[in-house]
Amino acid sequence: MSLTDEEVNKIANLARLKINPEQVPEYASNLSSILDLVEQMNAVDTTGIEPMAHPQDVAQRLRADVATEPDQRELFQAIAPATEAGLYLVPKVIE
Amino acid sequence: MTVTETEALKQAEAADKQRQNGNANLLTGIPLAQKDIFTTLGVKTTCGSKMLDNFIAPYNATVIENFNQAGAVMLGKTNMDEFAMGSSNETSFYGAVKNPWDLERVPGGSSGGSAAAVAARLAPAATGTDTGGSIRQPAALCGITGIKPTYGRVSRWGMIAFASSLDQGGPMAQTAEDCALMLDVMAGFDSKDSTSMDRPVDDHTAKLNDNLKGLKIGLPKEYFGEGLDADVEQTVQDALNVYESLGAELVEISLPNSHLAVPVYYVVAPAECSSNLSRFDGVRYGYRCENPTDLTDLYTRSRGEGFGDEVKRRIMIGTYALSAGYYDAYYLKAQQIRRLISNDFTEAFEKVDVIMGPTAPTTAFKLGEKADDPVSMYLSDIYTIAVNLAGLPGMSIPAGQVNGMPVGLQLIGNYWAESRLLNIAHQYQQTTEWHRAIPTNFA
């Protein structure tokens, strides 16, 4: 398995990660060797085997649909990079 | 990472009062170090990342809250691989932790700071988390005792998520007995963690003194093959002989799919990490890049600059494995083989009470030795990863030394068998002295 620089850039974009252009070949090489390791899975016939999503095969516990958390907006926004009037600020999205 | 001197003195005073009032318990006033992955109200929680360099959590993790209730004293937060992704502590944004037994060697990871602090006797005990071996492997490399409980035993609330179906917190200390006391406080149902299991908690110290006559110890032949250092193998064999002398019986078993654990892990863990770490977006908390030009630039640069290389690699592997057209070939396939690996253990536990083998294939390696080769680094967790995939409890205990560096013996138990594991470890520690060994410069 060998990833091209173009594929690395595509994956980085999907993951919303900025990768410096000069580092792309290094990522391509490292990611390819990780995928080579992973390829060992292909030697196993897994026909009919139920995928295991949880280590003990239990379903997630559900809770009653009631509000349990108090409003802590000020506390949570105190650690935000930029807020105004109780809102999180981001660069302008709509022109 | 952070020393919480003022808070520690306050907690110590409170513990003194608790004692005077006669409502102290065994951990009241005991100083502990906390892995910097557990959120602490008012104290920085970095998770070893530039992304969280300025992060002060607005709440305590359940584990921290449990120790506070018990009256324990937090000395500070320990260094770790960035977001717990690493086996040497070298991926920390704040620099590598060094092994107290040899300052040119790694302490293991990701809970390397906790392991080194306990080994150097800076703290009598510490917390760790274990996603693929991150409690057991550093415990082995630093010559201390650590236990990863059954998945669902210790609350993950406030424990910054890496791979949600694998992560589990646990204690690291000098002895199995100390780990038992710590686990009594850490374990239990937590309604705030949807993966926490609602079942009674053992008194982990109750069975420590049970004798081991007739104990059946399974030795997976796959754990004693190629890749295992010959001196480490001999050391493990010596430890097994001690168990025989205590009345245990050694039985060869097979875990035929164990060679697939590392490949499966490097699909499952990155897939879950790419999802979990999508929360770091430069908007609500954590690192934000300077002067973003638009929203995409804000996301990509905040994440690109805030995460280190290993974290970025794993996010990208996970993103790739989950992306359209690849999901079945990678993620689904990995989940299917995960079941085969888990079934191997189920079959083994029909024949034996506990499984033993080396924790790591070698003693601590040199700083920088594997830093440029992710795959060789991943293979240092070859014996620990399958335990997380199956969700079983596992331990590492000091079992000897090779060229002055500690060797760990790994104990793997059936689901919810923490008390039994601690008993088996404690009995070994009653007849051996390896857990008392202290690095020369710290004695």
Test mutation, B265, B316, B375, chain A, max A CBs within 10 A = B316
Task: Flag whether pLDDT at A1 surpasses 80.
Answer: no
Min Cα–Cα distance to chain A from B149, Å? 13
Yes or no, beta carbons of B283 and A72 under 8 Å apart: no
State the catalytic residues of B. Answer: 35, 110, 134
Using an 8 Å Cβ cutoff, are B169 and B66 in contact?
Answer: no
Instruction: Return d(Cα B304, Cα B81) in angstroms, integer.
Output: 18
Task: Select the residue of A31, A46, A82 nearest B313 (Cβ to Cβ).
Answer: A31
Nearest CA in chain B to A53: B335
Residues of A in contact with B317 (CB under 8 A): 31, 34-35
- Angle (nearest 5°) at CA B360 between B268 and A29: 50
Q: Hey, of A2, A41, A45, A95, which one would you mutate to test binding to chain B, going by the most B CBs within 10 A of its CB?
A: A41
Closest chain A CA to residue B281: A16
CB contact under 8 A, B283 and A88: yes
ipTM: 0.95
Q: Is A75 exposed, middle or buried (0-12, 13-18, 19+ CB in 10 A)?
A: exposed
Nearest CA in chain B to A50: B336
Nearest to B336 among A18, A49, A61 (CB): A49
Considering only the beta carbons, identify the residue of B166, B305, B375 that sits closest to A34. Answer: B375
Contact in structure between B375 and A32 (CB atoms under 8 Å): no
Closest-CA distance, B291 to chain A, in angstroms, reads: 9
Q: Which residues of A touch B339 (CB under 8 A)?
A: 49-52
How far is the alpha carbon of B165 from chain A, nearest alpha carbon, in Å?
6
In this complex, the residue of B303, B335, B389 whose CB is nearest that of residue A17 is B303
- pLDDT tier, A54 (very low <50, low <70, confident <90, very high otherwise): confident
pLDDT score of B151: 97
Under the banding of pLDDT at 50, 70 and 90, the label for residue A63 is confident
Read off the pLDDT of residues B174-196 as tens digits, 9 standing for 90 and up: 999 999 999 999 999 999 999 99
B window 25-84, beta carbon within 8 A of A: 54-56, 58
Domain regions of chain B by residue span = 2-260+334-442
pLDDT beyond 80 at A57: no
Which pairs count as long-range contacts for B285-292, CB under 8 Å and 24+ apart, including other chains?
B285/A76, B285/A79, B285/A80, B285/A81, B285/B55, B286/A81, B286/B51, B286/B52, B286/B54, B286/B55, B287/B50, B287/B51, B287/B52, B287/B53, B287/B54, B288/A81, B288/A82, B292/A90, B292/A91
Asked if B156 is an interface residue toward chain A (Cβ–Cβ < 8 A), one would say no
Closest Cα of chain A to B422: distance in Å? 22
Q: What are phi and psi of A62, to 5 degrees?
A: -105, 155
pLDDT of residue A61: 83
Nearest-CB residue to A11 (from B319, B334, B378): B319
**Per-residue confidence band for A4, with pLDDT thresholds at 50, 70 and 90:** very high
What is the topology classification, in CATH, of domain B2-260+334-442?
A: Amidase signature (AS) enzymes (3.90.1300)
Whether the per-residue pLDDT at A95 is higher than 80: the answer is no
Distance from the B363 Cα atom to the nearest Cα atom in chain A, whole angstroms:
23
Q: Does B275 touch chain A (CB under 8 A)?
A: no
Give A79 to chain B, closest Cα distance, Å: 6
Low-confidence ranges of chain B (pLDDT < 50): none
pLDDT for res A92: 86
- Asked if B380 contacts B262 with a C-beta cutoff of 8 angstroms, the reply is no
B327–chain A Cβ distance below 8 A for any pair? no
Q: Say which CATH class A5-43 falls into.
A: mainly alpha
**What is the pLDDT, as a whole number, of residue B342?**
97
Greater pLDDT, A53 or B70: B70
Q: What is the dihedral of CA B35, B38, B42, B46, to 10 degrees?
A: 70
What was the pLDDT predicted at B345? 98
Question: CB-based contact (8 Å) between B284 and chain A?
Answer: yes
- How far is CA B219 from each of CA B188, B365, B413, B426, B440, rounded to the nearest angstrom? 31, 25, 12, 20, 33
Residue of B nearest to A75 (CA): B58
Region A62-71: what's the mean pLDDT? 88
* Helix A24-38 and helix B309-322, axial crossing angle in degrees, nearest 10: 60
Candidate from A30, A55, A78 with C-beta closest to B313: A30
Find which of B315, B336, B345 to mutate to test the A interface (most A CBs within 10 Å of its CB).
B336
**Torsions phi, psi for B437 (to 5 deg):** -65, 135
pLDDT given at position B16: 94
Interface of B with A in 352-391 (CB under 8 A): 374-375, 378, 388-391
Contact yes or no for B186/B154 (Cβ under 8 A): yes
Mutate to test the interface with B, among A35, A45, A56 (most CBs of B within 10 A): A56
| pLDDT score of B225 | 86
Residue B438 near residue B401 (C-beta atoms within 8 A) = no
Distance CA B34, CA B17 (A): 23
| Furthest CA-CA distance within chain A | 57
| Residues 132-151, chain B, touching A (beta carbon < 8 A) | 151
How high is the pLDDT of residue B211? 97
Bridge partner residues of B74 (DSSP) = B32
**pLDDT-based confidence at A69, cuts 50/70/90?**
confident
| Residues sharing a CB contact under 8 Å with residue B26, sequence separation 6 or more, in sequence order | B181, B184
